[in-house]
């Protein structure tokens, strides 16, 4: 069974440009999460999808970030326009039921975004 | 609000020595607690989790952690370090309800010396 995949693995863009990150969850997992780790800081929650609906987007930094999950399958996270402080590693995770303690979140390898 | 503190961003041990990675949490409700490990160029992998059953939790690769409510701690231990244990370790907490967002500590990078 394939794990959570993320594309690209690395992205280097200039300030002001647009970048779109993609996450493919494990097949059959209704819950999809985005997290971000800025260098030197802790991993922080961005948002949570249940199927195609946003269950919790309390961690989204600002309106330059747009997350979508088409048809409840893969998800994209677009940053437009990118700023220097957006640099970091963006992780995607998926789980089957979304119940804490009963349901493991499986993480992808992350996308390393560098904004110059 | 929940928070997680991992003492020591870098820990170095000799091969065969005890591994002790510290984690303290704060939570307004009884939490679920997790330890994840990240090997180079890989995603985070769940090592073990505490879900209000036994306070001593055994995980993969010989790791275990003990939930101590009085100390609000969930330290990770392994009796004998192996070179393959070199990785970054993350402690995380989740609320005891639906909405499964994880709150992470800052991570501890474990180095194992031969």
Residues B47-98: tens digit of each pLDDT: 998 887 788 999 999 999 999 988 999 999 999 999 999 999 999 998 755 5
Nearest residue of chain B to residue A98 (CA atoms): B100
Q: CA-to-CA distance for A60 and A47, rounded, in angstroms?
A: 6
| A35 chain-B contacts, CB cut-off 8 A | 102, 104
Q: Closest Cα to residue B60, out of B84, B43, B26, B94?
A: B84
* Pairwise CA distance, residues A81 & A113, whole Å: 13
Distance between CA atoms of residues A91 and A13, nearest Å: 18
The whole-number pLDDT of residue A97 equals: 77
Do B43 and A35 count as a contact with CB atoms less than 8 A apart? no
Q: Is the CA virtual torsion B86, A23, A53, A38 positive or negative?
A: positive
Q: Cβ contacts of residue B97 below 8 Å, gap of 6+?
A: A100, B29
Residue A88's CB: how many other CB atoms inside 10 A? 21
Of all residues in chain A, what percent carry a pLDDT higher than 90? 84
Chosen from A34, A43, A56, A104 to mutate, greatest number of chain B CBs within 10 A: A43
pLDDT classification of A101: cutoffs 50, 70, 90: low
Cβ–Cβ under 8 Å, residues A72 and A3 = no
Cross-chain residue pair A42–B4, CB shorter than 8 Å: yes
Q: Which three-class secondary structure string do you get for B11-35?
A: EEEECCCCEEEEEEEECCCCCEEEE
Per-residue pLDDT at B34: 92
pLDDT in tens, A43-98: 999 999 999 999 999 999 999 999 999 888 999 999 999 999 999 999 999 998 76
8 Å CB contact of B98 and A100: yes
Q: A13 falls in which pLDDT band (50, 70, 90)?
A: very high
User: Which residues of A lie closer than 8 Å to B, measured between beta carbons?
Assistant: 3-4, 31, 33, 35, 41-45, 48, 55-56, 59, 91, 93, 95, 98-110
């Amino acid at each position: 069974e394939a794990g959570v995949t993320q594309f690209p693995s690395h992205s280097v863009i200039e300030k002001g440009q647009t970048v779109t990150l993609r996450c493919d969850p494990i097949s059959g997992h209704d819950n999809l999460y985005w997290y971000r780790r800025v260098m030197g800081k802790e991993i922080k929650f961005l948002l949570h999808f249940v199927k195609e609906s946003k269950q919790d987007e309390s961690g989204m930094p600002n309106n330059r970030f747009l997350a979508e999950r088409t048809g409840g399958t893969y998800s994209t996270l677009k940053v437009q326009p990118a700023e220097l402080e957006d640099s970091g590693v963006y992780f995607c995770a998926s789980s089957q039921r979304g119940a804490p303690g009963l349901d493991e979140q499986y993480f992808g390898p992350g996308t390393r975004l560098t904004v110059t | 609000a929940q928070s997680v503190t991992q003492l020591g961003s870098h820990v170095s041990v000799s091969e065969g020595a005890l591994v002790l990675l510290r984690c303290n949490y704060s939570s307004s409700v009884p939490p679920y607690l997790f330890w994840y490990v990240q090997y180079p160029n890989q995603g985070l992998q769940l090592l073990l989790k505490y879900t209000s059953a036994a306070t001593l939790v055994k995980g993969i690769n010989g790791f275990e952690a003990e939930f101590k409510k009085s100390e609000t701690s969930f330290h990770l231990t392994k009796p004998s370090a192996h070179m393959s244990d070199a990785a970054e370790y993350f402690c995380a907490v989740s609320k005891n309800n639906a909405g499964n967002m994880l709150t992470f500590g800052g991570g501890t990078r474990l180095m194992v010396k031969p």
